[in-house]
Amino acid sequence: MAPGAVGAACWWLDALYERLCANVFASDHLFADDTPVPVLDPGRGRTKTGRLWVYARDQRPWGGPAAPAAIFVFAPDRKSERPAAHLENFSGILHVDGYAGFARLQARGDVTLAACWVHMRRNFYEFFEATNSPIAAEALRRISELYGIEERIRGQSPALRLAERRTFSKPLVEKLKVWLEQQLTRVPPRGKLADAIRYALTRWRGLTRFLDDGRIELDTNPVERAIRPVALGRKNHLFAGSDLGGERWATLCSLIETCKMNGVEPYAYLRDVLQRMVDGHLVNRLDELLPWNWKPTEAVKS
């Protein structure tokens, strides 16, 4: 491809990425996480660590109207001002892990943080695997009961989900909190099991948000799934050649992952979109090319 054509393709993909970002960040219900990516550090003969911040929208568990999507944003570090800047105009529910930097968003008053039960559970699971602890095993059993209820109500309306949770999940959650508080007085205070219990109790308000809103999930799994291909591919793609390369990486990850979430074959999508841009697709009609709106050229002509 000629240099001029490459530049034009990048411009169009960047414009499409911006439309995707605008659409996703206008939502009131997102999942957030980040993952490290190696970036070539010129002059030092090695790589530095950049970050891909990822924001996913997935309303399928409660039948929401918005199409699923994932946005990747490259940044050179993990400072709390990164998600604060990305989500400057966002308001609503944000599903997060235990990263303390997200607390800055909640302090604004228009963002509610929902904590992740999977991250909380992982602490007990790792301790159980290492020690076969009966206390950790009991914590895992109780958490599993909550997920059994979630499996039963998946795909139902927010109102039905909330009613089922208040009837069946709330008593289990209340008993779990009392039980954890009791166990904390019985285990070594500086051990990993005590750390796991304190991790849960200090995030209890965020962990129990799902009892107040039928749209809220118990975990950040949608964004974890979006990130997984990046984590699995690190040994293959090695590194981004520069910060600009990291931004290009974020653009392509966003379009490809959003395609996958909507059942669209990414290669066919990108090939068709780039061809349309060459053929003179109007820039003010980019929404037609968002993955959930896209139809192959052959389908459009017929």
- pTM comes to 0.92
> Rounded to 5 degrees, what are φ and ψ at 136?
-65, -40
Which of 29, 24, 11, 1 minimizes the C-alpha distance to 158? Answer: 29
**pLDDT band at 9; cut points 50, 70, 90:** confident
- Name the β-bridge partners of 31: 56, 95
**pLDDT band at 217; cut points 50, 70, 90:** very high
| Cα 227-230-232 angle, rounded to 5 deg | 105
Which of 106, 11, 107, 101 minimizes the C-alpha distance to 53? Answer: 101
Residues 223-237: tens digit of each pLDDT: 999 999 887 777 666
Residue type, 245: G
Which of 202, 203, 242, 237 minimizes the C-alpha distance to 219? Answer: 203
67-99 b/e with 16+ CB inside 10 Å = b?
A: bbbbbbbbbeeeeeebbbebbeebeebbbbbee
* Percent over 90 (pLDDT), the chain: 75
More confident residue, 220 or 298: 220
Distance CA 252, CA 248 (A): 6
Structure tokens at 9: 């393709």
Q: What is the pLDDT of residue 279?
A: 78
15-38 b/e with 16+ CB inside 10 Å = b?
A: ebbeebbebbbebbbbbbbbbebb
Q: What is the pLDDT of residue 2?
A: 44
- Name the β-bridge partners of 38: 49
- From 9-13, 155-159, 267-271, the region with the lowest mean pLDDT: 9-13
The answer to whether residue 194 scores a pLDDT higher than 50 is: yes
User: Which 3 state secondary structure label does DSSP give 52?
Assistant: strand
Residues 146-169: tens digit of each pLDDT: 999 999 999 999 999 999 999 999
The answer to whether residue 5 scores a pLDDT higher than 60 is: no
| Domain ranges within the chain, ordered by starting residue | 3-113+220-301, 117-210
Residue with tokens 């599993």: 144
Q: What is the pLDDT of residue 302?
A: 46
Long-range contacts, 278-283 (Cβ 8 Å, 24+): 278/5, 278/8, 283/15
- From 67-76, 117-126, 193-202, 238-247, the region with the lowest mean pLDDT: 238-247
Which DSSP symbol is given to 240?
B
User: CB–CB of 31/118 below 8 Å?
Assistant: no
Q: What is the pLDDT of residue 3?
A: 46
